[in-house]
Amino acid sequence: MPKIVRFHETGDADVLKLEDLPLTEPAEGEVRLKVEAIGINRAEVMFRRGQYLEEPQLPSRLGYEASGVVDAVGPGVKGIQVGDRVSTIPCFSIGKYGVYGESAIVPDYAAVRFPENLTAIEGAAIWMQYFTAYGALVEYGHLKKEDTVLITAASSSVGLAAIQITKAAGATAIATTRGADKKPFLLDAGADHVIVTDQEDLSARVMSISSEKGARLVFDPVAGPFLEKLADAAAPGAIIFVYGALFPEVTPFPLFPALAKGLTIRGYTLFEIAQDAGKRARGVKYISERLQSGALKPVVDRTFPLADIAEAHRYMESNQQKGKIVVTV
């Protein structure tokens, strides 16, 4: 019987249990993976705590991203075969289809062959991060090479993906980080400029870097009072994508800069892209081409064995990581 991660109550990382559960068969339109690697996302931490967009039905599986080999396909599946090396796009219920385990079943459209030049570990570090950044910056933001893009919490896997997508488009990437310790890493990761927000005036630095224009695209998972500083650093007509809610308290809407500069504040999750067939296909093509060329390259911070899944979650909650945390199976 495959080992599957579940939780019977919401709470801290210790609620995650490795359980032996019967191998199940994929239903119509589903495929089953023999999992090789699992990408760990903040969404799963939030879901485990009962603080996510989706409510867990206990006991609940969890997990959005896995790479592996297809070992069974359900009726009506086209385009995917047993033996295909795939990874999963987060476009399904995290509870119903949770991929944390040795075996995972997902809808067929969520299983995508990934470029040969990537390892299974890298394969588990593609779709959440690149789809999230791609959807905001490219699909909605129409990223152009003359743009200045302001990327907060830039050491996260999604932040690094945004830096890479910005640079691949020839635009200017400004990364922010709270403390100075991650600055050398972010410069190595491709950021043109790094602003240490505990020490520097964000708006003044962004204006100076952008010849007083401000950032046309802002990409932020934090929200909270910091949103007002981002609005000050934004260009007239800028779009601020808020794709997370890391700050635990109320976010004030930056009304006066929004009125004065005609700012768009856009709540955004990758599901808008991942759950729409047309947008998903455009995103898969855009990302796959750039993974093949090497313009995009997943940054894996650290791996954990499946038995240490709770430790992997605790490590994510420590906010020490620089890039993706992956669990190997």
Phi-psi region of 169 (alpha: psi -120 to 50; beta: other; left: phi over 0): alpha
The distance of closest approach from Cβ of residue 134 to a copy of itself in the complex, given in angstroms and rounded to an integer, is 15
Q: Which of 170, 184, 237, 294 binds a copy of itself (CB under 8 A)?
A: 237
Q: Which of 268, 286, 304, 315 binds a copy of itself (CB under 8 A)?
A: 268
* CA atoms 31, 34, 39, 42: torsion sign: positive
- For residue 190, give both structure tokens: 């491709």
One symbol per residue from 26 to 65: x for binding a copy of itself (CB under 8 A), - otherwise; what is it? ---------------------------x------------
The distance of closest approach from Cβ of residue 198 to a copy of itself in the complex, given in angstroms and rounded to an integer, is 23
* Alpha carbon distances (Å) from 141 to 148, 149, 174, 221, 300: 12, 10, 16, 16, 27
Phi/psi of residue 239, nearest 5 degrees: -115, 125
By the rule CB under 8 A, 267 interacts with a copy of itself: yes
Among 28-36, 256-264, 290-298, 319-327, the segment contacting a copy of itself (CB under 8 A): 256-264
**CA–CA distance, 210 with 81 (Å, rounded to integer):** 49
Q: Which of 23, 57, 253, 320 binds a copy of itself (CB under 8 A)?
A: 253
- For residue 197, give both structure tokens: 């927000």
By the rule CB under 8 A, 244 interacts with a copy of itself: yes
The distance of closest approach from Cβ of residue 50 to a copy of itself in the complex, given in angstroms and rounded to an integer, is 14
Angle between helices 127-134 and 277-293 (to 10 degrees): 110
Nearer to a copy of itself, 71 or 276 (CB): 276
Cα 310-32-15 angle, rounded to 5 deg:
20
Nearer to a copy of itself, 259 or 277 (CB): 259
Question: Given the rule CB under 8 A, which residues bind a copy of itself?
Answer: 53, 223, 227, 237, 242-245, 250-253, 255-269, 272
